[in-house]
Amino acid sequence: MEFVAIIPARYASTRFPAKPLAVLGGKPVIIRVCEQASKVFNHVFVATDDSRIYNVVENGGFKAVMTREDHKSGTDRCYEAYTKCGVKADVVVNIQGDEPFIQPSQLTTLKDLFNYPETDIATLVKPFSPDTPFEKVANPNSPKVVVDNNWNALYFSRSVIPYLRGVAGNDWPSRHTYYKHIGIYAFRTDVLGTVTQLPQAPLEKAESLEQLRWLSAGFRIKVGVTDVETIGIDTPDDLADAEKFLKEHSL
């Protein structure tokens, strides 16, 4: 099975403009993401709408693809890049451009989910530990996932799901295993082409979670579990935390 990894990277960002070019441990963030992805995948491309990012990637020894500026999501940008990259693959992996600490073990877990023929889309979750404060589990910026007995996603929500009837909120994390969604996806190539054509679904609009569009359309999202903690970079403060993480772990 042939895989291609695509890393969407926009220059414009409301909270952190030029984020892919921010320097982390002496290297641009986007280069660190490319390095991690290349440990698992033979084909890695950055999908960008900005020549500055394109040039940094190419000069750093990796491949980039120029895409339109008007894409509404990284998924759409991913698909355009795939159609232009010149590689024919069975699966397209969408790796976030602000995840410089994504680990090979996580990417391998994602790949292995396509050993199941029923997998249309794959993603990852990380269990909240039983001693996690309820406020952290309830953070709406940290979507939760519930799965069926075969580890297919049933639903994604910014709310805490499932609701534990008759149990005090502070006791929920110790009474049930809640799963935090890790925002990395892989798609069978034909599925990726189809989902980019789907209209927004009511559930997606309600939660502002794109994956609910795919579930609403009947696609099966297979879920893998990781225990690896990574740091995504959304703000300049996150970059400072990432620098600290880098030094502490000698990465």
DSSP line for 45-59: EEEES-HHHHHHHHH
Residue 244 lies in a domain: no
Point out the domain boundary residue: 62, 82, 99: 99
Claim to verify: residue 179 and residue 161 sit in the same structural domain: yes
State the CB neighbour count (10 A cutoff) for residue 10. 20
Q: Which amino acid would we find at residue 245?
A: F
Claim to verify: residue 44 and residue 109 sit in the same structural domain: no
Question: How many CA within 13 A on the CB side of residue 218?
Answer: 1
Claim to verify: residue 224 and residue 136 sit in the same structural domain: yes
Owning domain of residue 81: 1-99
Residue 56's domain is classified under what CATH number?
A: 3.90.550.10
State the CB neighbour count (10 A cutoff) for residue 12. 10
Residue 251 lies in a domain: no
Nearest to 109 by CA among 5, 224, 207: 224
Residue 125 lies in a domain: yes
Counted domains in the chain: 2
Give pLDDT tens digits along the chain (251 positions): 999 999 999 998 777 889 999 999 999 999 999 999 999 999 999 999 999 999 999 999 999 999 999 998 989 999 999 999 999 999 999 999 999 999 999 999 999 999 999 999 999 999 999 999 999 999 998 999 999 999 999 999 999 999 999 999 999 999 999 999 998 999 999 999 999 999 999 999 999 999 999 999 999 999 999 999 778 888 889 999 999 988 887 66
**Assigned token pair, 167:** 């149990």
Claim to verify: residue 67 and residue 15 sit in the same structural domain: yes
